[in-house]
A and B are shown apart, each in its own frame.
Chain A
Amino acid sequence: MDIIAVLIKFILAAVTIVVVFSIAGLLTWVERKQSAVMQDRIGANRAAIFGITAFGLFHAIADVLKMLSKEEFIPAGANKFLFNLAPYLSVTFALVGFAAIPFGNQLIWGDRVIELQAANINVALIFVFAMMSMGVYGVVLAGFSSNNNYAFLGGMRGAAQMIAYEVTMGAAIMGIIMVFNTLDLQQIVRAQGAYLFGGWLPKWGVFCQPLAFILFLTAATAETKRTPFDLPEGESEIIGYFVEYSGMKFGMFFLADLIETVLVAALMTTLFLGGWQVLYLFPDGFHFPWGSFIALPNIAVAILGMVAFIIKLSFFIWLLMTVRWTLPRFRYDQLMRLGWKILLPASLVNIAVTAIILTLLR
């Protein structure tokens, strides 16, 4: 345990946090702009610094400034400690999940092999799931401590929804665990570097487990608490758990939602789209299935991997945003029916079919 190894870990963790915060901050702008482009509008373009609008990018800064300068209101009769704790729980647990996400392959520096991952935990998948489930406590505490019946009901809806969809999420992931035989996310991504059908089709999760992909996408969308599954929040009319929050505490719930969107997108990338894998790129360079070979140094491979990860991440963020701005909200009974009667049995069937196929292939 030398000091340089600690420093490297520290840098990796700092980079992860900074990048995630930047992406989440950017998403406030992306959300407004993408919805505008989808709906034939122009979107946020007014905030300007010295006449420069930069496509409305300054709106993200303006939003934060507005929230920081607003009054922090705590309702009478609220449990002050829990009321203040809830937004921090939401943000913290959403952020901690990123520690286990691998965003690149090994970087070789002298005689050191640096895994591009803030923490290589051998049960990373379970760790991420645990952190995502802990995020529910923020929702429930916010609803219960506000001393407001609407917030209370919002918290109840949130708890029920999270339980219903986390079961499906865990069951959908079982197929992936069975195929790749590991819980370590870095190992799962490495395993996705193999190729099927004579080296043409990558062994990505989405090709091995197409049904699990759809199930996980649905359950994960529900996990981010955004439309079509925004019953805990219901920002427009049914009023959610953070109705009593104002200023930056509301901003933190808002941020937690966006961080969870990024986390879910990162998890989808890692599990189903090969993480940092680039098509036909191996640690020593490109091996194309038609036989040609391009040698690349280790640093180029590592950078290509990180770029690939960011591109895949952006694709999933785009997809989640498109879903959020396309579909209307589910009714509560539809939500529960979808969770318990459609997704859960489908994920169980997926496990059984995967087990049978794997046994036959062995």
Chain B
Amino acid sequence: MENPQQKRQELEKYFDAQSPFALFRVAQMKRSWQKPNRRELSWWENTYIPSVASGLWLTSKHFFYNFFFHILHLFGLFKNVKAAVTFEYPEKPRPLAARARTRHRLTKREDGSPRCVACMMCETVCPARCIEITAAEHPDPNIEKYPAEFILDLGKCVYCGFCVEVCPEDAIRMDTQRLDIAEYTRESMIYNKERLLNG
């Protein structure tokens, strides 16, 4: 009965198209096969009491566990035990993986000027062409160039991270952990050097 091959053989044995009871027998066979999969509920299960009780037990366990720790949190105790899975998003952002590619920033030298040397590597590699650098001569003879302006259009950026990988000076990074970039105009999506340097 368990073996499908055996089942088919048994069906063929019974299924005689000429027989007046053929269809009835097929239906009977099918029903008998379905039986092991569809367990009849016992009398006790049909009263709903065991399933209702187990459901109430589960939810009350959650209720009392969470309630207990919510109360303790009010007194500043056991803050490391979570009583809810909620992230209160706008106030407390959800923790991201350290390597997550988030909004760009320009890193600084010790004197606060950008590390960028305006080599144009990122601008060249950018598949979305969202970076636009205006280079200028640096007053320090050891450094050739610096960006007079560094414009990054986040409305075009695809967050591929190529600019970060290609940068020889570690001047641009995508580690601000900020993903909620929403503005009312397209213009305010365009970040200039100051915005990228400070935050």
Contact = CB atoms under 8 A, between A and B. Distances in A.
Interface string A332-352: 000000100010000000000
Given A37-B70, A38-B62, A342 B47 contact: yes
A323 B56 contact: yes
Contacts of B55: 326-327
Contact of B52 (A36, A37, A327): A327
18 contacts: A36-B84, A37-B62, A37-B66, A37-B70, A37-B84, A38-B60, A40-B62, A40-B66, A40-B85, A42-B86, A214-B49, A322-B56, A322-B59, A322-B63, A323-B56, A325-B59, A326-B52, A327-B52
Nearest to A337: B46
Interface of A: 34, 36-42, 214, 322-323, 325-327, 338, 342
Interface of B: 46-49, 52, 55-56, 58-60, 62-63, 66-67, 70, 83-86, 88
Contact of A322 (B49, B60, B66, B70): B60
A40 B59 contact: no
Given A38-B66, A40-B85, A40-B86, 7 more contacts: A34-B63, A37-B63, A42-B88, A322-B59, A323-B56, A326-B58, A327-B52
Contacts of A42: 84, 86, 88
Nearest to A330: B48
A325 B67 CA distance: 16
A39 B60 CA distance: 10
Given A327-B52, A338-B48, A342-B47, A41 B59 contact: no
Q: Closest 7 interchain pairs by CB? A: A326-B59, A38-B63, A42-B86, A37-B66, A326-B55, A42-B84, A40-B85
Nearest to B69: A37
Nearest to B52: A327
Nearest to A346: B47
Nearest to A37: B66
A5 B48 CA distance: 50
Contact of B59 (A38, A214, A338): A38
A36 B59 CA distance: 11
A325 B63 CA distance: 11
Contact of B67 (A37, A323, A327): A37
A278 to B, nearest CB: 24
Nearest to A341: B46
A325 B55 CA distance: 10
B14 to A, nearest CB: 34
Pick the most buried of A214, A323, A326: most chain B CB atoms within 10 A of its CB.
A326
A41 B84 contact: yes
Nearest to B70: A37
B84 A326 contact: no
A40 B84 contact: yes
Contacts of A327: 52, 55
A41 B84 CA distance: 5
B135 to A, nearest CB: 49
Nearest to A328: B55
Nearest to B62: A38
A164 to B, nearest CB: 16
Contacts of B48: 338
B58 to A, nearest CB: 8
Given A323-B56, A326-B56, A41 B85 contact: yes
Nearest to A228: B52
A338 B55 CA distance: 18
B1 to A, nearest CB: 32
A40 B69 CA distance: 11
Contacts of A38: 59-60, 62-63, 66
Contacts of A39: 62
Pick the most buried of A34, A36, A39, A40: most chain B CB atoms within 10 A of its CB.
A40
A41 B52 CA distance: 22
Contacts of B66: 37-38, 40
A36 B67 CA distance: 10
Contacts of B84: 36-37, 40-42
B56 to A, nearest CB: 6
B64 to A, nearest CB: 9
Contacts of A322: 56, 59-60, 63
A39 B85 CA distance: 9
A34 to B, nearest CB: 7
